[in-house]
Amino acid sequence: MTVPAVAVTAGLGIALAQGALAASFAVSGQQFKVSASSLEGEGFAQYGSVDVNARQELIPVAVTAIREAKLHSLCQSVVTSLPVIGDISLNLSAGRKAPVEASNLFVDATQLAGDAVFSNIEIGRDASTLDKGPADAQGMQDLFGQQADTVHITGLQQTAWATNAGTFKLTGLSMNVSKGKKECF
């Protein structure tokens, strides 16, 4: 029973070394939440992958990659529980008057919700052949992938381990640290 597990772990290690997996840095031990009233994106791709934390533990994720994205009323939150002090919340908001803009946006998520509309979507495409998202938005060969020319999501809610972007313009940025549990959703 341990032989298949060792083989899978070795395969994932090789894929990570070749850059086929999501992790471009060791992710923290905490997921964060992101919400937006709406997201409009051009060049959408999505595929399964694996992140790695500092303890070298593998974390399965769904990578959502968008070449150009605009987010309205963005909220990001993370809650840390500390001994004696209790919960501490870090909240970030932006894009209330003008949208947040991102290029080559990659989100390594474990949960995504909202109402979505895709144009020219391809579902079930081999993840290694995706070509509508950012240039590096491809997964491993033989794995499930999907892509679309555009995506529009209203009521976006997602839980993620990591976000990367070529550029990330946060109009009207506000950050707040407070005691207690204050999440975006």
What is the reported pTM? 0.86
3-class state of residue 76 by DSSP:
strand
pLDDT of 22: 60
CB within 8 A of 4, min separation 6: which ones? none
What pLDDT sits at residue 5? 43
CA distance 11 to 62: 18
| pLDDT by residue, tens only, the chain of 185 residues | 444 444 444 444 444 444 444 647 899 999 999 999 999 999 999 999 999 999 999 999 999 999 999 999 999 999 999 999 999 999 999 999 999 999 999 999 999 999 999 999 999 999 999 999 999 999 999 999 999 999 999 999 999 999 999 999 999 999 999 999 999 99
* pLDDT (0 to 100) of residue 129: 98
How far is the C-alpha of 180 from the C-alpha of 174, rounded, in Å? 18
Got the DSSP string for 19-69?
T-SS-SS-B-S--EEEEEEEEEEEEEEEEEEEEEBTT--EEEEEEEEEEEE
Cα-to-chain-centroid distance, residue 128: 18
Put residue 138 in one of left, alpha, beta given phi > 0 → left and psi -120 to 50 → alpha: beta
Give the pLDDT score at 109: 98
CA atoms within 13 A on the CB side of 151: 28
